Every structure is written in structure tokens, then in C-alpha cells.
Amino acid sequence: MSHPNILVTDSDGIVSIEISRRDKKNAITGDMYRAMSDALGHAREQRHVRVVLIRGQSDLFTAGNDLGDFLHRKANDPSAAIPFLHLLSAFEKPLVAAVAGNAVGIGTTLLLHCDLVYAAENALFQLPFVKLALCPEAGSSLLLPRVAGHQRAAELLLLGEPFDAATACSAGFVNRVVAADQLMDTAMAAARKLAALPAQSLAVTKALLKRPPDRSALEAMDEEAIYFADLVAEPAAKEIFSAFLEKRSPDPTKIHGNNT
Ligand code: COA
């Protein structure tokens, strides 16, 4: 799972995936996508992992796909970015991202698949696909207008100019903008909070949030009710209810089983 430019740690229920190829502005090569896919696969399979944090450093996220790789790519060459993006998009556990400095191309579009995104004041996003004579990827032509509306998405995807963290926040895909020296602590604090919550409830809530948006409120309500009926009878919920009524803290072993 290890790669010199993809630093993976696994502790306290949090897998951290750090993009680290600073001499090339963290540009991502095929091997780096594969290493990130391996890390996501590990995080998906291991029950003790509850959250994944994707990060660069406090002054740099990524300059996007390695342009040298693009230069040598032919039309039908398989792209290692695609399996990575599929894993990311279908990932059942919460994904937190910490973004600082340049976040170009996939450095911005991968955020559309994350659940909580924190950006440093120095973050600079860019979707330069048209400028590069390419077109949007990672589902961004669907996901960006969904959060930002057509005109804002069109401005960011057609003109492809860099935009700051405040713009990303108002476009709807960044939760909060913080000082650069607070970024990693902020993202890690959110990851820790998520890791302490009942994993099954998180997974069900995330799955419900990602259901197609065109269903009716009644359909959503009925689907929620099915999951709700199961969860309310689970030991985790029973322990939380009992703890409240008995004025004590819940026993984490009864909420997380052996994976505390
Ligand atoms: N792929 C490959 N190498 C890249 C790269 C990329 N996406 N982005 C930066 N690099 C390399 C540069 O070639 C340079 O390498 P060198 O020192 O061997 O010459 C090094 O990283 C530093 O880049 P530089 O452009 O000097 O840094 P900067 O701070 O002036 O600018 C960026 C940073 C991110 C604004 C600029 O590098 C850039 O625009 N990169 C391309 C982004 C891009 O188009 N990505 C593809 C999206 S689909």
C-alpha cells in the first residue's frame, strides 16, 4: 500500500491519505492513483476504519493529473484515475478533505465526492479542462451544477480561471475556510468526531444523502423509514438511549463492538 508520494496512516479509526510529491506540486501519476485506490480499498475493507482523510500539506493540495502522463496518453489507454474515482464516488464511509494552496483539475473535482471539505485561506482552486483542450471529468459536469447552479458551474468550467476558497465555499463544495495553520487540526477534529459516531448510522445516512435527488419526499421518507426501523433496534441505539435515561456516558464497546 505504500508509495513514496502517497503517505498513508491508519490510526484511531482514521485512514489519512496524504499526497506528497512537492517537487512537482503534488501532481498525480498513474502509480499515485493506484496507491490511493489501494488505500481506499484497505479503508473500505477494514471494519476498524471509520473515516478517510484526504490531504496534501498546509500550502499545497495538488496540481492535478501529471501533465507528462497526459502527454503520453493515447485515446484508448486505460486511466488509473478512473478506478480511483469510482472507489471514491462509491465509498460508503465518510470522506473528509483538507485543501490548501493549489487544487487544480482533479484536485478540485475529487472534492465533489467528499463529505466534509475544509479549505485554507490560501487555497486556490481551478478547473482548467477547457483551457487544456479537454472536458470535465470525475462527474463534475453533473455534480458541480448540482451544488453551485448552472451559471456558477459554467463560469468555473468554461472559463477555467483560478478561484479562491471563499468562492469555493459559496459555490457549495467547501464547508469551511480556515487559516492555513489551522487546516489540518480542523480536518482531523472533524474526522475524529465522525470516527466516534455509530458507524452503521453514518453509512446509512451517507447512502441516503447520495440517493438520486429526483425522488419525491415521500419516496425518501419511506426509504429512510426502512433503515430507521432497523437502526432503532440495534444495540448501538439501545445503548445510547439507555445511557441518556440513566444519565451516564454511552459505553463505546456497545456502540462500536470490538472495533473501539
Ligand atoms: N503535471 C506535471 N508536472 C507539474 C504539474 C502537473 N500537473 N504541475 C506542476 N508541475 C511541475 C512543473 O513542471 C515544475 O516542474 P520542474 O520544477 O521540474 O520544472 C514544478 O512542478 C513546479 O511547478 P511550477 O509551475 O513552477 O509551480 P508554480 O508554483 O509556479 O505553479 C501551478 C503551480 C499548479 C499553478 C502550476 O504548476 C500549474 O498550472 N500546473 C499545471 C496544472 C494543470 O494544468 N493540471 C492538470 C489539470 S487537468
pLDDT, tens only, 117-175: 999 999 999 999 999 999 999 999 999 999 999 999 999 999 999 999 999 999 999 99
Q: Which atom of ligand 1 lies closest to the CA of 68? A: 2
| 39 contacts 55 by C-beta, under 8 angstroms | no
Contact 51, 206 (CB under 8 A): no
Q: What pLDDT digit, counting tens, does each position of 175-233 carry?
A: 999 999 999 999 999 999 999 999 999 999 999 999 998 999 999 999 999 999 999 99
Tell me if 102 CB under 6 Å of ligand 1: yes
Tell how far the Cα of 63 is from the centroid of ligand 1, in angstroms: 6
Beta strands of 20-162 (E only): which ranges? 51-55, 95-99, 102-104, 116-120, 124-126
User: In the prediction, which pLDDT does 197 show?
Assistant: 97
Whether 60 and 28 have beta carbons less than 8 Å apart is answered as: no
199-256 topology per CATH: Lyase 2-enoyl-coa Hydratase; Chain  A, domain 2 (1.10.12)
Q: Domains of the chain: which residue ranges? A: 6-195, 199-256
Residue 258: pLDDT band (50, 70, 90) is: low
Q: Give Rg (Cα) of the chain.
A: 19
Selection from 24, 85, 35 nearest residue 60 by Cα: 24
Nearest ligand 1 atom to the CA of 162 is 35
Total residue length of the chain: 260
Cell numbers representing residue 105 in the block: 483539475
Helix (H) or strand (E) holding 144: helix 140-148
Cβ–ligand 1 distance for 59 under 6 Å, the answer: no
| Spatial contact of 50 and 115, defined as CB atoms under 8 Å apart | no
Whether the per-residue pLDDT at 260 is higher than 60: the answer is no
6-195 belongs to CATH 3.40.50.10160: no
pLDDT of amino acid 2: 75
Nearest of 26, 94, 84, 12 to residue 55 by alpha carbon? 26
140 near 156, Cβ under 8 Å?
no
- pLDDT of the residue at 229: 97
pTM, entire model? 0.96
Residue 216 host element (H or E): none
- Contact status, residue 177 vs residue 169, Cβ threshold 8 Å: yes
Identify which of 93, 213, 208 has the alpha carbon closest to the alpha carbon of residue 142.
213
Query: For residues 93 and 178, what is the distance between their CA atoms, to the nearest angstrom?
Result: 24
Nearest CA residue ID for atom 4, ligand 1: 24
The 102-104 sheet, strands edge to edge: 102-104, 124-126, 163-164
Dihedral Cα 93, 49, 96, 55, nearest 10 deg: -140
How is residue 201 annotated by DSSP?
Answer: H
The whole-number average pLDDT for the span 37-53 is 98
Percentage above 70 pLDDT, the chain: 98
Q: Name the closest-CA residue to atom 20, ligand 1.
A: 24
